[in-house]
A = this chain, B = another copy of it.
């Protein structure tokens, strides 16, 4: 995991469709060497997967909301309960007053309300507080940087 690996990661985060020849060109490697590096990054699961990024508004998910979920019991192993609802994109166990923070995308406020209802139905859930996003200023992947210096 040196500077060349980080440059490869940054390039692949920006555009994963380019050829290995072009990729090697920008980081100063041959196509074969660049391919070998990327193969190892995938093998070590530094690159989890390479996926297409879809415009949420185009697939019926133009409304974004964050929901803090209050619960009475421990929510450490309820991932499946949240995963069962496709509108729930992220679920994090958090420190603080709320137990779980959930990111939800739906098409309408009615569908959001329906998701809230289904979250309430999850075992141990005590209450929810939804915060609706009006405008997304920024949404980008993590930037690989040198350890110790952002």
Contact = CB atoms under 8 A, between A and B. Distances in A.
A100 B144 CA distance: 25
A13 B96 contact: no
Interface in A118-150: 131-148, 150
Contacts of A88: 138
A89 B13 contact: no
Contact of A59 (B58, B134, B145): B145
Given A59-B9, A142-B56, A131 B51 contact: no
Contacts of A61: 142
Nearest to A13: B51
Interface string A79-94: 1001100111111111
A146 to B, nearest CB: 8
A2 interface: no
A27 interface: no
A78 interface: yes
Please name the 10 residue pairs, one residue from A and one from B, whose CB atoms are nearest each other, closest first: A12-B52, A79-B137, A91-B138, A59-B144, A91-B137, A93-B135, A92-B133, A86-B143, A46-B58, A48-B53
Given A47-B52, A90-B138, A94-B134, 18 more contacts: A9-B52, A15-B50, A15-B51, A16-B16, A46-B54, A48-B53, A54-B144, A59-B142, A60-B150, A79-B137, A83-B137, A86-B150, A90-B140, A93-B134, A94-B133, A95-B133, A95-B134, A106-B150
